[in-house]
Amino acid sequence: MRRTGWVLALPLFLLGSFATPLINSASPASSSIVFTAQMPKAHLPQGQNGGTDDYRCFLINPKVNQDSLITQVEFQPQQRVMMHHAIMFLVGKKDLAEAKTIDNNGTGWPCFGGTGLGSGFSSFLTSPWLSSWAPGRDKDVMPAGYGTPIAKGDQIVLQVHYNLLAMNGKKIPSDQSKVLITAVPAKGAKLATLYSELIAAPVELACPPGVTGDFCDRGKSLINLAQRTSQSSAMESMGLNLICGKNPIKPIPSTTSTCDQKIKQNELVVKATPHMHLLGRSLQLILNPGTPGEKILLDRPNYNFDDQSPTVLKDPVQLKVGDTVRVICTFDPTLRQVLPELKKLPPRYFTWGEGSSDEMCLGVLGVAHQS
């Protein structure tokens, strides 16, 4: 989940569905309210240990004065050119004190992965995912008839992934982005819950034939990944291989990444979103592949990093317990020698990682749980 997205950089133990409830609201548009929240202080991004990525979290206060249902979230990046992704997490009263402490009077805190609130295994539970922004997705508009709950007094952790490679050697500017939230009063609304289902696959891209360098060695590449992002990154790469039934120690490199995930409860798919980085070429999400009931949930044959907009399904698709959803991503590692953001970097073996010069294979389904 630059992005992140969506995510962009999610803990592997939470792959599957996690609760970010959306609500079916019959409230009239005329009652809409707009809440605005901005980073308290400007932040000057900087990488660590020779890295070119800065994951930074900020506590922002939309000053919600009544329980509401969000129908649209608009992230307004002040420095769009160096934005890889932004994710907004809800922070309720239970975790607000901790968030205020680590926010350090508005300066924010480093946060590769989740928000850092709670233990490492509860970060995405203590602060549920509210919304995300990535190139091509200026406004996160809920599917018709849906919204996301936010309670009176709730605040937001804004996680921004700054991609310093995008500056191409130019002076890095400070950033003070903001978020606009459109909502309606929750009172009297009819509720129906939607969740995010994450379908991820490991990435194992060897250096192209004839390309050599220290980081073309997978072990050295993983050590470097941990140094410039976080110690958990190498473990994420190993964990994803294990989850997907592949050798976590000596995986077979391939320009195609794939993984099957079993559905654990009845669901209805409403929308689907792709996420890869700069070497991504295509992404598919397939229901029950190779069976008479096979169905394409998402097909991006020409993946464009600058257009990671979601696809709202014209006809929602039913998923049943025991069904399989497969994600398939294809990559072109030769692009590293061509793309302006990457060609000045030393060659490397690509794995799943949180930096803009690493890769991901992630499909995100918006699903409603059913009995």
Give, for 99, the enclosing helix (H) or strand (E).
Answer: helix 93-103
Q: Are residues 86 and 140 in the same domain?
A: yes
User: Do residues 240 and 327 make contact, with C-beta atoms less than 8 angstroms apart?
Assistant: no
**Domain-located, residue 63:** yes
Mean pLDDT of 247-253: 94
Is it the case that residue 301 has pLDDT exceeding 80? yes
Task: Mark which of 185, 208, 239 sits at the end of a domain.
Answer: 185
- Do both 117 and 248 map to the same domain? no
Which residues, including other chains, have CB under 8 Å from residue 223's CB and lie 6 or more apart?
234
How far from the centroid of its chain's Cα atoms is residue 69's Cα?
22
| 258 occurs within a structural domain | yes
In a domain, 180, yes or no: yes
Of 144, 161, 185, the position where a domain reaches its end is 185
One domain for residues 81 and 38: yes
Residue 216 CB neighbours (<10 A): 16
Model confidence at 12: pLDDT above 50: no
Domain identity same for 285 and 157: no
Q: Which domain holds residue 261?
A: 195-369
119 shares a domain with 237: no
Q: What is the CATH number of the domain that holds 244?
A: 2.60.120
Q: According to the model, what pLDDT value does residue 214 have?
A: 96
Answer whether 4's CB lies under 8 Å from 163's CB.
Answer: no
pLDDT of residue 330: 98
pLDDT at 309 over 60: yes
Tell me the residue type at 254. Answer: S
Same domain, 290 and 143: no
Are 42 and 169 in the same domain?
yes
**How far apart (Å, rounded) are the C-alpha atoms in residues 24 and 193?**
8
Using the 8-state DSSP alphabet, how is residue 155 labeled?
E
Which CATH number covers residue 33? 2.60.120.310
Give the up-direction half-sphere exposure of residue 307: CA atoms within 13 A in the CB hemisphere: 9
Q: Is position 268 within any domain?
A: yes
- Residue 137 domain-assigned (yes or no): yes
103: pLDDT strictly greater than 90: yes
A 10 A CB-CB count for 330 gives: 19
Could you give the percent of the chain with pLDDT greater than 70?
A: 88
Burial status of residue 206 (CB atoms within 10 A of its CB: 0-12, 13-18, 19 or more): middle
Number of domains composing the chain: 2
Provide the whole-model pTM. 0.75
**What does the block give as tokens for 54?**
């800065």
Measured CA to CA, the distance from residue 190 to residue 24 in angstroms comes to 6
- Single out the residue in 158, 185, 212 at which a domain terminates: 185
